[in-house]
Amino acid sequence: MVPTGKLRIDLNCDMGEGYGAYRMGDDAELMRHITSANIACGFHAGDPGTIAATVKLALEHDVAIGAHPGLPDLQGFGRRAMTISPREAYELTVYQIGAVQAFAAAEGVRVSHVKPHGALYNMAARDAALADAIAEAIYKVDGNMMLYGLSGSELIRSAERLGLRAANEVFADRSYEEDGSLTPRHAAGAVLADSAEASAQIVRLVRAGEVKTRQGTWLRLQADTVCVHGDSPDALSHVRALGEALREEGIELGRADRNG
């Protein structure tokens, strides 16, 4: 997906990641600054009430509604790797898309995209069989949906093989390794807390298609959509600073399902 004319970029955020009485992230405020929302589906976070409220909030702000399926790991927030088969990856993706899809349909809107969460996302970025299973699940549920995947990863290649639209995702609040993967969260410097640093990283990615890795080398990446993690304590300052920095560079924010 290559934007034409003036530079435009989608700004997405992982949302609806509370559960029951537990709340995470300032979704109401974040929604005012983003163009796409990835809504937790109940496995790593989220519950029926939270999904319903987040879908309505996205609709109020004309934000694209996405499903954010994860591994069945509430306690670990879906960030602990699990051994699952491609068949299991397919089934849990179909199941979780369906949860958000039903609430979207009840409001008269559709799910525009699917973005795997956490460990599932990172596993499928490397594992072609898992990536194929996730892409197939999306394609069979609704082939008009987009797959958001780590830029240049197996997820993107799987979508392309199926003829599924894909958005190469880059990250404002994470550092990169030389192989294009995200720095593991346990490593020093994995999460960028400084909003100016995060904004500078994204402006360079959008303008020049490159990012400086943790090892100090430059990595070429395509940027169709930018992620800020909604559970981060710095999320709101990041999205505000990022929006301002992009506008100053003459780069517009726009939903990925309407770009290109």
| Residue 197 included in any domain | yes
Number of domains comprising the chain: 1
Task: Point out which residues pair with 225 in neighbouring strands.
Answer: 10, 169
| Residue 171 included in any domain | yes
| Residue 135 included in any domain | yes
| Residue 168 included in any domain | yes
pTM of the predicted model as reported, rounded to 2 decimal places: 0.94
Burial string for 234-253 (b: 16+ CB within 10 Å, else e) reads bbbbbbbbbbebbeeeebeb
Residue ranges of the chain whose pLDDT lies below 50: 1-4
- pLDDT tens, position by position, 233-247: 888 998 999 999 999
CATH of the domain at 153: 3.20.20.370
Domain encompassing residue 24: 8-258
pLDDT the model gives residue 4 = 47
